[in-house]
Amino acid sequence: MTGPRPTAPRQVPVLVAGGGPSGLAAAIELGRRGVRVLVVEPREVLDPLRARAKTTSVRTMEHLRRWGLADELRRRAPLPVAHAQDVVFCTSVFGRELTRFPHAFGLWTEPRDIAAEAGQQVPQPVVEQLLRDAVAELPSVTLLLGSRVAEVVDGPDGVRAVVAGPDGTTTEVQADYLLGADGGAGVSRAAIGARYAGSSGTAPNLSLAFRSRTLDERPPCALGVHWWVVGGERGGLMGRLDLDGLWWAIVQG
Ligand SMILES: Cc1cc2nc3c(=O)[nH]c(=O)nc-3n(C[C@H](O)[C@H](O)[C@H](O)COP(=O)(O)OP(=O)(O)OC[C@H]3O[C@@H](n4cnc5c(N)ncnc54)[C@H](O)[C@@H]3O)c2cc1C
């Protein structure tokens, strides 16, 4: 971070709890219209090894295009669309290809009439950094990193929120609107009385990032953007994060 850490304004039209992709996108949309927005996000630094999303869909790419960010995202993406466009289903990573979904997620190398942009394989932290950079260009948006919304109370004149800084100090913020983009572990969901329904899957998913040179020497069953292993002892999916030996995998069970 360069320059002094921004401080939370005491009063703001829109408070966005959570500076993940949704919160940052909302701030860009509002900020481009001159609406004053405060975004509060606990993660100061983005972890490149916690990728979560690896593919940005055509519709999201169209929003990025509207904001003038699509080309820059493609420039920053460590995997070009031209590298691979198909999701391959196989018996094991080195086994037999069963079937494939061509051009999954709208990964096209040539323009199509149905969308203004193709999809793009790109790790989520790269997308989030691009959105953070775009937010920094908007004078009406304040992005407060390292802080969290600790409490929100809805009232007749808007929302009263308590923002906790990295050192534990708190600031009370009055907002006309709260935009809850703080996920399941945040405070917005509880404040509106929402709760999860249903139950989790019987087998957990283990999500990991790893380095392997061996996979370059002994490539998986066929060229793909993802490999989905089905019918084996253990199912899961895998793909490249870049062309330099970094991979991701989600193992089921
Ligand atoms: C394994 C995996 C793979 C995925 N793959 C894809 C994919 O390929 N393509 C795709 O489009 N999507 C994918 N997704 C989904 C994608 O990651 C989510 O849709 C996306 O992160 C949602 O963004 P969000 O901003 O709504 O929520 P989040 O990303 O969950 O952001 C919530 C934010 O709120 C912050 N926060 C939490 N508590 C507080 C608080 N008290 N105060 C303030 N802020 C708070 C958090 O730090 C976080 O930054 C995947 C998800 C997973 C888990």
ipTM of the assembly?
0.98
Distance 53 CA to ligand 1 centre (A): 8
User: Is 71 in contact with 134 (CB distance < 8 Å)?
Assistant: no
What are 65-76's pLDDT values in tens digits?
A: 999 999 999 999
User: Is 249 in contact with 204 (CB distance < 8 Å)?
Assistant: no
Pairing of strands 158-164, 148-155: antiparallel
For residue 98, give the CATH number of its domain.
3.30.9.10
Question: How far is the C-alpha of 238 from the C-alpha of 53, rounded, in Å?
Answer: 13
Task: Give the closest residue to 150 by CA, choosing from 168, 176, 132, 127.
Answer: 168
30 in a structural domain: yes
The answer, yes or no, to whether any atom of ligand 1 lies below 6 A from the CB of 119, is: no
> What pLDDT band is residue 227 in, cutting at 50, 70 and 90?
very high
Question: Which residue minimizes the CA distance to atom 32 of ligand 1?
Answer: 182
73 in a structural domain: no
Domain of 17 in residue numbering reads as 11-48+125-191
Q: Residue 3: is its pLDDT beyond 80?
A: no
Same domain, 137 and 23: yes
> What pLDDT band is residue 2 in, cutting at 50, 70 and 90?
low
61 in a structural domain: no
The answer, yes or no, to whether any atom of ligand 1 lies below 6 A from the CB of 27, is: no
Element (H, E) at 215: helix 214-217
Same domain, 84 and 140: no
> What pLDDT band is residue 251 in, cutting at 50, 70 and 90?
very high
The answer, yes or no, to whether any atom of ligand 1 lies below 6 A from the CB of 123, is: no
What are 38-57's pLDDT values in tens digits?
A: 999 999 999 999 999 999 99
Task: Calculate helix-pair angle for 21-31, 124-136, nearest 10 degrees.
Answer: 30
What are 190-222's pLDDT values in tens digits?
A: 898 888 888 887 888 899 999 998 998 887 888
Question: Which residue minimizes the CA distance to atom 53 of ligand 1?
Answer: 52
C-alpha R_g of the chain: 21
* Residue with token string 């899961």: 236
Same domain, 141 and 248: no
* Residue with token string 């708190």: 170
Q: Which atom of ligand 1 lies at the shortest distance from residue 21's CA?
A: 25
For 29, residues 6+ apart whose C-beta sits below 8 A from its C-beta are none
Same domain, 132 and 186: yes
Number of domains in the chain: 2
Q: Which atom of ligand 1 lies at the shortest distance from residue 186's CA?
A: 38
Model pLDDT, residue 88: 96
Question: How far is the C-alpha of 202 from the C-alpha of 199, rounded, in Å?
Answer: 9
Question: How far is the C-alpha of 198 from the C-alpha of 201, rounded, in Å?
Answer: 10
Same domain, 109 and 129: no
Percent of the chain beyond pLDDT 90? 81
232 in a structural domain: yes
The answer, yes or no, to whether any atom of ligand 1 lies below 6 A from the CB of 43, is: yes
The answer, yes or no, to whether any atom of ligand 1 lies below 6 A from the CB of 42, is: yes
